[in-house]
Structures are given as C-alpha cells and as structure tokens.
Chain A
Amino acid sequence: MTSTPLLEAVGLSKRYGRNLVVDDVSFTVRPGLVTGFLGANGAGKSTTLRLLLGLDAPTRGHATFGGRPYAALDRPLATVGALLEARAVHPGRSARNHLRALARTQRLPEPRVERVLDLVGLRSVADRRAGTFSLGMGQRLGVAAALLGDPRILILDEPVNGLDPEGILWIRNLMRDFARDGRSVLVSSHLMNEMAVTADHLVVLGNGRVLADCSLRDFVAGHDSLEAAFMARTAGTLTYQGGGLR
C-alpha cells in the first residue's frame, strides 16, 4: 500500500502551441486524505486532471494509478471516479439511462445505478431528461457517475460550482466520508474557504508549476488564514496576459 501510491503524477507537462500550461508537475495522492488541488483560474488545474485521466496526452511525463496508467486500468470506474465538468451528459437522455449505459460498460450490476441515484438524491427525477436539470442537479448526476464503480479515488474538478449551501455541505461531507473510509479524494478548487474546511493535504499550482505540496496545517502556518497563506505564497505567479480593460 505504501510502496505504490494510489495516484502518482511524475513530471507532467502540457504544451499548447507556445504556452506551457502544465510544467513538470509531480505529486502523489495518499489514501485516507482529501488532497486539495489549489490554484488560481488558469493555473493549470483542470488540464493536469485531464492529463491524469488520459483525456489529454501529456507533452512529457506520466501518471499512474496503483502503478498503471489510466488507460491500462481494468474496469477504470472501479478504481477512479471523476467529475470534470457539470455537463458531460447528453441533455436528451434520462439520468438513469446515462448511468445504466456507463454501468454496462464496466459490467456493474443494474442495482448499482439505483444505489448511486439514491446516494445523490436523484432517484425521483431519474427518468427526466438530463437537459431539464438545474446546475446543481447536473452536478449531482456527475457525482453519481463518479461513484458508480465504487472507486478508490475520487477526482473532482471544482465540484461546488453552482451548488447551493446545502449542496456544498453535501459534497464536503461526501469527500470527508470517502477519505475517512481509507480512500482518496483529489479535489480542485480556487475557493480558499472551501478548501480550508475540506482538505487535509494541499498541492498548490501556480502558472502550471507546483508551488507547494504539504499538509494544510503546514501551508497555513504563520498566516491568519488559508487565503492569506495562498496570496503570500503565490505572489508574483499571477500573471494575467493581455492589456486589461481597453
């Protein structure tokens, strides 16, 4: 368990044209912890997550789950559950059929679909077309898809976006329970206060590079808040291109 981390990124880089969006990013995700993936908008968080999951091909470096690249995983949804964007669903398809189709590719039993629908509270609207869902309901459907295979790692990209306070609390508890269960969570966010109450460990990204990889407590030490610590540590890395208002 300690020899092969659940998730390991080694020297990940991604170049789009002349822009190095992700620059030599290495980190590991350990069991039993919520790892916060923190950075400003455009710091390269989402791209890094897409590199981990094989959706984008890295220019350099690699990522492994228990020693194997994502594409080599047997029944990947049983190892990794990912929520990358609120809308990764055909709007004309019902929530239930969306999940049934995914479950079938992994040879998961049909009752598992009903189980995750219950978990995210969408059972009563499961036969409605996903296009009629609110942003929050869409986010819950994304979480249902992530939980479908009963994975060992959850990877969530800005999961609280568009959620109401109740939904935010629900996601937070879900992540805490998941980690307490001995599993891992990697959650990206640019919301400091949310991270401060959710994460145990932080990987901080700025301009595509890892600025810090340490416990939340160590990161905040000497500052009033996570926000203050973040601002102090990332000062100078927030370079916005373009001339501002014209």
Chain B
Amino acid sequence: MTATMTAPAGTSRVPALSDVMAGEWIKLRSLRSTRWTLGATVLLVLGFSSLAVQLYAGRYSHLSASDRVELHEDPISLVLQPGMAWGVISVCVLAALTVTSEYSTGAIRSLMLAVPARRPVILAKAAVISLVTFVLGDVLAFVAFFVSAPVINQHVEMSLSDGWALRAVLGSGVFLAATAVLAFSVAALVRNTAGGITAAVGLVFVAPNAAGFLPGRVGNYVSTYLPGGRAGQMILTSGRDTTHVLGPWAGIIVAVGWAVLALVMATVAVRRRDV
C-alpha cells in the first residue's frame, strides 16, 4: 500500500516544474472545452486564410493597381494575417479558461495543495498552453501556406525557400503562443472567467483595432505597441511594407516582451494572494 517512491537521482524536490507540466498536460487533454476551442481555432485560421486568398489573389484581374503592388510585396501576410488575427479569439478563450475555470470550480485548491510553491503552478500552465499553441500555430500556418500557394503562385512567386516566407510560417506559432501567454496571464490576474476572457479578447482583438482609428501615425503607433497589439502580427508579413511601424523581428520581440511581462505580473499576484 506504500506509494513512496525514490525520486530519480539529481532531482531534489518533487514536484519539479516538469512534473507540474505533465499534470497540466493530462488536465488540458481531458476537457471538452480544449477540443472545442482548438477546433474553433482551426476553422477560424484556415477559414479566414482561404477567404482572404480567394478574395484577393483569386480575383487578381479585378484588383486595383495598389492592391496588386501590395500582393507582390507581401503575399505571405495575405495567407497568414487574416486567419491568425481571427484565430487569436479562440486561443484567448482556451488560454484564459485554463486558469479561470480552476478558480471558478475550486480545482485550483486541489492543484495548490499538490504544488504549494505557486510559481511552478503558473509557469507550468503557461508552458503547456504556449507549447500547444506554438505547435498549433505552425501546423496551421503550413497547411494554410500549402493550400494557398497554388492560387498565389499564379501571379506572385512565393515559396518556403524564401527566407521571409519561412520566417512568417514558423513565426505564426510564436505569435499564437505569445498571444496565449498574454491572455493566460491577464486571466490569472482577473481570475474570473467572464472577466478574463473579456479582458484578453479586448486586449488582443478589440483594442488594436480601436486604436487604429486614432488619427495619423499616432493610431499606427498605439495599435502596434499596445500589449496584444499589432506588433506580434508583423512576423506574419514579408517585412517589405515600409508603412509598418515595426519589422517582423522587432514586432515579435515586442509581443513576446508583453507576454513575459504579463506572466511575471501574474506570478507575483498568484504568489501573494490567498487561494
């Protein structure tokens, strides 16, 4: 009846971060809401990607001269940006639910009894959700790319041997993961499901668009630099459009920076608060 085991040599404390991550992986897989939100993300990303590609590249002869220039400069953003910009909604819901559903059901106390050091709780959840959304983002980007390439290639050269195309496709996972960690952290600060989802979707979907209406360059800057703003989406572009405030690399660094900052804030808050 004894359940005592000797820990593998070299690891002093149980649970280690990897143990908590393994537990979180079991939990994430065992909920219907995970399947629903991941399924919704697949539909949103691939659906809006094909729609955009059909509406632009598929109607090439009807495009204005400026639209054609844009397509030649940056075909990859047409494939990735519309889909990912919508896909973040269900990604935010998934990321927020991994923490708020535990607070609303009391499951967080079961977890914190098993893992009383709270930093691993937050870091393991963030790690699992970011790995899942990173893989999902890259897989969806590859699928979207290969579905759209034949349509695009009738008018514009685009191949994964182009550095900018490969960067955008691989960067899609980083973009989704950074968005997920930001949403997760905001939700961990708020703790409440409705509030967490509203705050997260508000940051990554509503605020950048609203800020875009500010006049002139100001709107462009604000909607780019806001947490959850358009900076992260720059990785989904070819980087040849000089009207963007940030290039692909600078953009993704800003997005990851916001995610890390939010995660640090969430960790501090969760360590300080009673559960």
Given the contacts A104-B23, A107-B5, A150-B2, A55 and B14 also touching, CB distance less than 8 Å:
no
B20 part of interface (Cβ distance < 8 Å): yes
Closest to B28 in A: A101
A166 proximity list for chain B (CB < 8 A):
none
Which of B76-84, B114-122, B158-166, B240-248 makes up part of the contact surface?
B114-122
Give the Cβ gap from B6 to chain A, nearest Cβ, in Å.
10
Question: Is A71 a contact partner of B116 (Cβ separation < 8 A)?
Answer: yes
Interface residue count on the A side (C-beta < 8 Å) = 43
Q: Which residues of A contact B105 (CB under 8 A)?
A: 87-91
Expressed in whole angstroms, the Cα–Cα distance for A102 and B24 within the complex equals: 9
Number of interface residues of B (CB under 8 A): 37
The answer to the question of B261 belonging to the interface, with a C-beta cut-off of 8 Å to chain A, is no
A145 to B111 alpha-carbon distance, docked (Å): 11
B3 at the interface (CB under 8 A from A): yes
Select one of B3, B15, B116 contacting A70, CB under 8 A. Answer: B116
Partner of A106, one of B12, B14, B26: B14
Considering the complex, give the chain A residue whose CB is closest to the CB of B115. Answer: A105
Produce 1/0 per residue, A84-123, CB < 8 A to B.
Answer: 1101111111100110111011111100100100000000
- The residue that A88 contacts in the complex, of B1, B24, B30, B110, with Cβ under 8 A, is B110
A76 within 8 A of B: yes
CB-contacts of B10-58 with A (<8 A): 12-15, 19-20, 22-24, 26-27, 30-33
Query: Do residues A150 and B1 form an inter-chain contact, with CB atoms below 8 A?
Result: yes
A206 contacts the other chain (CB 8 A): no
A–B pairs, 27, beta carbons within 8 Å? A55-B109, A55-B112, A57-B274, A77-B113, A82-B113, A88-B106, A90-B101, A92-B31, A92-B32, A93-B30, A93-B107, A100-B26, A101-B26, A102-B111, A104-B22, A105-B23, A105-B114, A105-B115, A106-B19, A107-B7, A107-B14, A107-B15, A107-B19, A109-B3, A149-B3, A150-B1, A150-B4
Contact residues of B with A, CB < 8 Å?
A: 1-5, 7, 12-15, 19-20, 22-24, 26-27, 30-33, 101-102, 105-107, 109-117, 274-275
